[in-house]
Structures are given as structure tokens and as C-alpha cells.
Amino acid sequence: MPKLADHGQRRVQIAEALLRIAGSSGLHAVTMRSVAAEAGFSVSVVQYYFESKEKLLLFALRYLARRVSERVEARIRASGSPPTSRGVIEAVLAQALPTDAESRTFHLVYTAYAVLSVTDPALAAQPFMAAPDEMRAFLTDRIRAAQSAGEASPDLDAHAEATGLLAMSAGLGTSVLLGQVTAGDALSILRYHLDRIVPEPET
Amino acid sequence: MPKLADHGQRRVQIAEALLRIAGSSGLHAVTMRSVAAEAGFSVSVVQYYFESKEKLLLFALRYLARRVSERVEARIRASGSPPTSRGVIEAVLAQALPTDAESRTFHLVYTAYAVLSVTDPALAAQPFMAAPDEMRAFLTDRIRAAQSAGEASPDLDAHAEATGLLAMSAGLGTSVLLGQVTAGDALSILRYHLDRIVPEPET
DNA sequence: TCTTTGGTAGTACAACCGTACTACCAAAGG
DNA sequence: CCTTTGGTAGTACGGTTGTACTACCAAAGA
């Protein structure tokens, strides 16, 4: 039994080709043929590793979600050690802003999937929809922790602040994507609002 | 020369059929055939009033933008007379939340168009992209006016507040669309944040 | 060495898309 | 009356899509 190919690696390779196409030409440009060509394989290979296009799309979505969460964790780690409340919160929120080419692709494709999921039950049932919920819970905890530590005003509604901030960073990310705001301006605005909730320890 | 049909009305009729389909099944479900069937016409009629699908999509987008701005104005008018700073600002921002079926459709289709515009230059050049810019300028002016009237703290950055609020309401609208937050909760959170910037005159 | 089998390539097909085209109809102007 | 013409319907065509299918190849086990 010949076993030359690493299935997992092949699937990732193909999923990355899909993300490249969706990021540059839109999710509607993702076809079996275009993905195969981008990945340097024949259509049959794509068919072989993913039995249908739907399976491929779902796998690519899960892969995307994993990559995004990896980036969030990397950003938290890079925010300083030991991580401050403000640093962690800012890291999580800033991740929603398309600052480089990769995160721009991630944000665009993610949004395209989200729009699609509104009218596609199979996509809506996907666990990637739960990610924002987790983030909201995480942020709420962090804000409460900052309040306990005296780093944030105690009369803040942590839940309302977390949900609002998350929505704001997502909205800012979309604005950057649409070219209405530069990534730098978006980050400044995000920091401005954060300063009013969880100020920097020192300036 | 027989002239029974009002071209303008027919075009609106067809555009509304398109929005109905895009709102319920997604923008990808919009085809010449589906739109014609939804509108109760033959494909030839759609072809007759819009020479191509692209023209139809652009017209429907402009029509959508017009309907949305009409809703904003109606909301401002309904916010009380004479309109207060807080009332007008809340009216503009709350319009981004999909509170009823119609605004839900509007928000969904608008977002779908926006995502498409990132990779489609013809759509990106469309003037509907300027609408958020106008709103941002409008909101900035309103916040400055509230500051002058002593209704808002003078040490607020009106531009940062306006951009942030707009992004937040857009993000909240998307969350409502995805079912992560109810429309009522989103409105509460929006009001919570507004209270910290431009408080209600009386409570 | 021969056979089994994981992996690859090419092709074919049914369905759908946008659009061009032709034919038809009914009302208005001569 | 008849002819012109705005509007409508049906159909056909070239192109693209997802997918099923068959053939082929190379490596491992017997």
C-alpha cells in the first residue's frame, strides 16, 4: 500500500489556496477548478481529499478560525509579560483590525462566510459562530478583573462594555476593509475608547 | 405608440423583487430567472428594463440606499419635536440595527454588497460607499453641537466618538443579523454607550 | 514477480447561468 | 382601415459549475 501523501498537509495546502482566492477575488470566485489551479493540483485531487465543495468550504472555514485564534494568542503573548489587563484587552480587539495582508484576508473571508451563514443553515450551524460569544465572555471577565484590581471604574457595566467594544472593533475592521478608514486611524480610535474604560497603567 | 408601462415603476418593482430574494436567500441566489419569477414577469421583461444583470444590481443597490436614507430621516422625524441632539444621534445609530424584517433585509443585502465591493471595482466605485462618510461627518457635527450646548463633555474627541459609535452600531447590527445578540439587547448596549457621551436630557 | 491499492489525471454530463434572438400582441397614429 | 411600435414571451446558445466515472501509475506486500 503506497502511502506517500500526508492527508492533513494536503488538505491544509488546498484550504490555503482557497483562502488566497477568496481573499483576493472574493468567495464567489472559489470553484473547484480555481482552487485546484491555485494549489497546483488537478481537480480530481481536490475531489479526492474533499468529497464535495461544501466539505471543502467548511474545512477551510474551520482552518481559518484556527489561524485567527492562533493570531489572537500570539498577539496576547506579544503584548508584554506579565500581560496587563489593558494589554490583553487591546490585543484581542486589535486583532479584528486588518493591519497586514494576512489579517486582511482573514477578515474579508470571515465576513463573507458570516454573510453567507445568514441564509445558509449548514454554515450557521458551524461552531465558528460561537467564537464571538467566547470572546465576549473572555472580555467581560477581563474587564471585571480590571475593575477588581482598581484599573477600571467600578460603575462600568462589564457586559455592555465588552459587547460594545467587540462590536466597535468588528465595525472598525469592516471600515478598514472598505477603505473608509485607515488601519492606523482605526487603531487610534480603538485606543481612544479603551483609554476611557481601562486606561494604560502608565503613559 | 402604445405606452402602457411606467418604466420607473417597473424598475422599482423588479428591484424590490431582487431585494426580497437577496434578503431571504442571499445575494448569490439573485439570478435573472429568480428575480423575474419573484416579480411575476418573464425573464425578457427584466432584460428589457435592465439591459444586463450588472445594471440591475447597481440599480437595486441605489434603490436600497435611497430606502435606507428615507428610513433614517423618518426615524429622526419620529424621535421628537423639536429634535434633541441625543434623539437625532440615537435615531441615526439605531437605524443600523435590524429591528424589523425590512431593516433586517436592508442590513443583510447592504453587507453582502459591501463584501462584494471589496473585490469588485465596479461596485466599489458606487456612491453608496460615501454614505458612511456622510454619516460620520453628520454625527461629528451633532456631537460638537451637543458640546457647545453643554449637553456633552467638552473634552470628548468628537471625531473619534462619531467614528467609534458608527462602527459600534454597524458591528451590533451584524451581531443581531448573525443571531448572537437580540435587537433589544443591541439597542440597550447602544443606549448605554450613548448615555456616557450625550446623556438624555431628562430621565 | 505479480497483485493489490493509494493517489492522480482526464473526460463527460446534467444543471444552471446571462444573454441574444425571433416571434407575437395590442394600442395609438395615419 | 392599416401600419408602426412599445412591450412581452419563448427559445436557443455558449460558457461555467459541481461531480461522477474511467483509466492510469507507482509503490508496497505476497
- Are A174 and B170 inside 8 Å of each other by CB? yes
Report residue A87 CA to chain centroid gap. 18
Q: Using an 8 Å Cβ cutoff, are A32 and A18 in contact?
A: no
Report the pLDDT averaged over residues A41-57.
98
Looking at the complex, report in whole angstroms how far the Cα of residue A183 sits from the nearest Cα belonging to chain B: 13
CA atoms within a 13 Å half-sphere pointing along the CA-CB vector of A36? 14
pTM of the model: 0.94
- Predicted pLDDT at B1: 57
**Nucleotide minimizing C1' to CA distance for residue B43:** D9
Measured between CA atoms, the residue of chain B closest to residue A27 is B116
CA atoms within a 13 Å half-sphere pointing along the CA-CB vector of A98? 24
Which chain B residues are Cβ-neighbours of A189 within 8 angstroms?
160, 163-164, 167
CA distance B133 to B154: 23
Q: What is the pLDDT along chain B (203 residues), one digit of tens a residue?
A: 566 779 999 999 999 999 999 999 999 999 999 999 999 999 999 999 999 999 999 999 999 999 999 999 999 999 877 889 999 999 999 999 999 999 999 999 999 999 999 999 999 998 777 788 899 999 999 999 999 999 999 999 999 999 999 999 999 999 999 999 999 999 999 999 999 999 987 64
- Predicted pLDDT at A52: 98
CA distance A33 to B170: 35
Looking at the complex, report in whole angstroms how far the Cα of residue A199 sits from the nearest Cα belonging to chain B: 15
- Predicted pLDDT at A4: 73
pLDDT at A1 > cutoff 60? no
Q: Which residues touch strand C (CB under 7 A)?
A: A 1-5, 7, 10, 41-45, 47-49; B 1-4, 30-34, 43-44, 47, 51-54
- Predicted pLDDT at B130: 77
3-state secondary structure at position A190: helix
Q: How confident is the model at residue A3 (pLDDT cuts 50, 70, 90)?
A: low
Asked if the C-beta of A176 comes within 8 angstroms of chain B's C-beta atoms, the answer is: no
CA distance B41 to B46: 7
Asked if the C-beta of B193 comes within 8 angstroms of chain A's C-beta atoms, the answer is: yes
- Are B26 and A114 inside 8 Å of each other by CB? no
- Predicted pLDDT at B126: 86
A164 vs B112, B133, B189: nearest CB: B189
- Predicted pLDDT at A195: 97
pLDDT at A72 > cutoff 70? yes
Which chain B residues are Cβ-neighbours of A167 within 8 angstroms?
167-172, 174-175, 186, 189
Amino acid residing at B36: A
Q: Using an 8 Å Cβ cutoff, are A15 and A101 in contact?
A: no
Asked if the C-beta of A127 comes within 8 angstroms of chain B's C-beta atoms, the answer is: no
Asked if the C-beta of B31 comes within 8 angstroms of chain A's C-beta atoms, the answer is: no
